[in-house]
A and B are shown apart, each in its own frame.
Chain A
Amino acid sequence: MEKYNFGLDEEMVKALSEEFAPLNFVKTLKLSQPHSIEDARASLEEYGRELARRSIEKGEKKIDRVYRVMKKAMEKTGEMKFPFIPQRYLEIAYLSIQPFRRLRIVANSSRILSYRLNECSLYKAIEEQYGKKAANKMVCKSACFALIEEILSHFDFDIKPSLEASMADDGKCQFKIERK
């Protein structure tokens, strides 16, 4: 992790990556035991929500130059809170726990924020720990939904995200957050 320059505060990302290391978390799920899916889902939701809370908490303290200019632009135009505020915190969260160098944003207009995960450390960790069958149940999506919903709720957006493609069926996950 140290060899990267994030634009984001490096210490913040490092701290989040340690706090929310996917493999360490997945080991606690006990997915191999019968009737454990519901428990796992609840744990994943809490993991996603807590990742969102911590990303917001730390991200609001560590103001990088992109965020500083973004806030000025929002103040001047009265626009852009959506999609860029949720996008920022989703990027902080995902860049902290995922192996990719950038989050693949599919759309970020005033109406839609959509992004794609072509690889996922959480899905991979479940696969490594509990096998492909367990991973393909896509219980991990609970973490992503909780992450998105917590960020949206924190910034007063009443929007329900949807999953347009899944790692199990399509080899990638794609989430869409669309304003009505």
Chain B
Amino acid sequence: MCELCEKYGDNGGRWYLNPENYARPLYKKVEKEKEKEPMILTELQGPFYYKPLIELKDNPEAFEKMREGYLKFHETMSGQVVSLEDAEKMVEIAHPIARIDCICRRITRATLEDGEQRPRSCLGLGVGMFRWEEWPERYKGGVEFLSTEEAKEHIEHWHKRGMVITIMTFGTPYIGGICLCDYPDCLAIRMRLDYGIKPFLLKGHQVAKVNYEECTGCGTCVQRCQFGAIKMEVTTKKSNIDMTRCFGCGVCTYACPQDAISLIDREKLPGLKEEW
């Protein structure tokens, strides 16, 4: 069973469909002496993410030390890939929902998602959004509140264009965001694939499977996969999915012009049911 479902699921259900994991109060009493200035996100996270990249080159020991730090950080922040279907159920539970600039792209590109068609591709969830709009020093760019239907359209729009849907906690198990991710911009995907920090991004509850009768070997899915899990099988001239590398995001199912790829439940497959 998925570790997070085991700990935070509602009677064995998927943890991210449990309304308790989105619940927060609007207000709290804060002792004045403990009040802090809002932290600027890049100051917190920029060095945290980039330091190992710099140190990795010449100092593997330092990298290992940072890796341990990441694993500790996971106790408060973790994520998981989710399917479009599950993401649509989530936005029916979580409120408020707001479009926000992707913090990963901001860090990796050192820019906001600017331009006339500003995508604001990620979704912030929960009552924290009521505060973030008026904290430009913390989260430059503000937020744009969406209705449930608008949120569904937003997620579907980006997912069908190749973005992986992931969720992030801010104080596990509190789910604070639905992200629309791609490699290498997404720091969670990067943490998992490049640094092997598994808890940062768990695989989803499903895995993709090719119907070889339908596959024409066009290779569209190979280009779309963000996890390097699909290759073109030379002997058969058809796509082949390495299910141990598949995160079950479902991007390939929408990319395939033949509808030859489908998602199946991970936990029904003995070899994969403990593979998160």
Bound: A159/B98 CA distance, A? 28
Q: Which residues of A contact B150 (CB under 8 A)?
A: 77
User: Does B24 lie within 8 Å of A108, measured CB to CB?
Assistant: yes
In the complex where A5-B30, A106-B23 touch, is A73 in contact with B96 (Cβ < 8 A)? yes
User: Does A3 lie within 8 Å of B147, measured CB to CB?
Assistant: no
Bound: A78/B33 CA distance, A? 39
Among the 9-residue stretches B42-50, B127-135, B242-250, B264-272, the one with 4 or more Cβ atoms under 8 Å from chain A is B127-135
Does B61 make an interface contact (CB < 8 A)?
Answer: no
Q: Which residues of B contact A79 (CB under 8 A)?
A: 95, 147-148
Q: Which of B132-172 contact A (CB under 8 A)?
A: 133-134, 145-148, 150
Q: Which residue of A has the minimal Cβ distance to B144?
A: A76
Q: Which residue of A has the minimal Cβ distance to B33?
A: A3
Does A103 make an interface contact (CB < 8 A)?
Answer: yes
A92 to chain B, nearest CB (A): 8
For B147, give its contact among A78, A104, A109 (CB under 8 Å).
A78
Q: Which residues of B contact A112 (CB under 8 A)?
A: 19
Chain A interface helix/strand/loop/mixed: mixed
A19 to chain B, nearest CB (A): 18
Bound: A169/B31 CA distance, A? 32
User: Does A109 lie within 8 Å of B22, measured CB to CB?
Assistant: yes
Category for how many chain A residues contact B: 35 or more
In the complex where A73-B130, A79-B147 touch, is A7 in contact with B35 (Cβ < 8 A)? no
User: Does A107 lie within 8 Å of B27, measured CB to CB?
Assistant: no
Q: Which residues of A contact B94 (CB under 8 A)?
A: 109
User: Does A4 lie within 8 Å of B130, measured CB to CB?
Assistant: no
Among the 9-residue stretches A29-37, A64-72, A124-132, A134-142, the one with 4 or more Cβ atoms under 8 Å from chain B is A64-72
B23 to chain A, nearest CB (A): 4
Q: Which residues of B contact A179 (CB under 8 A)?
A: none
B62 to chain A, nearest CB (A): 39
Does A26 make an interface contact (CB < 8 A)?
Answer: no
Q: Which residues of A contact B146 (CB under 8 A)?
A: 77
User: Does B27 lie within 8 Å of A91, measured CB to CB?
Assistant: yes
Q: Which of B106-143 contact A (CB under 8 A)?
A: 127, 129-131, 133-134
A56 to chain B, nearest CB (A): 15
In the complex where A6-B27, A109-B93, A112-B19 touch, is A77 in contact with B134 (Cβ < 8 A)? no
Q: Which residues of B contact A3 (CB under 8 A)?
A: 31-33
Q: Which residues of B contact A7 (CB under 8 A)?
A: 26-28, 30
Q: Which residues of B contact A64 (CB under 8 A)?
A: 27
Q: Which residues of A contact B (CB under 8 A)?
A: 3-8, 64-66, 69-70, 72-73, 76-80, 83-84, 87-88, 91-92, 95, 101-110, 112, 114
Q: Which residues of B contact A (CB under 8 A)?
A: 19-20, 22-33, 35, 92-96, 98, 127, 129-131, 133-134, 145-148, 150
| 20 other A-B residue contacts (CB within 8 Å) besides A72-B145, A73-B145 | A4-B29, A5-B31, A6-B27, A6-B30, A7-B27, A64-B27, A65-B131, A65-B134, A66-B26, A66-B127, A70-B130, A77-B146, A78-B147, A79-B95, A84-B127, A87-B25, A103-B25, A107-B20, A108-B95, A109-B95
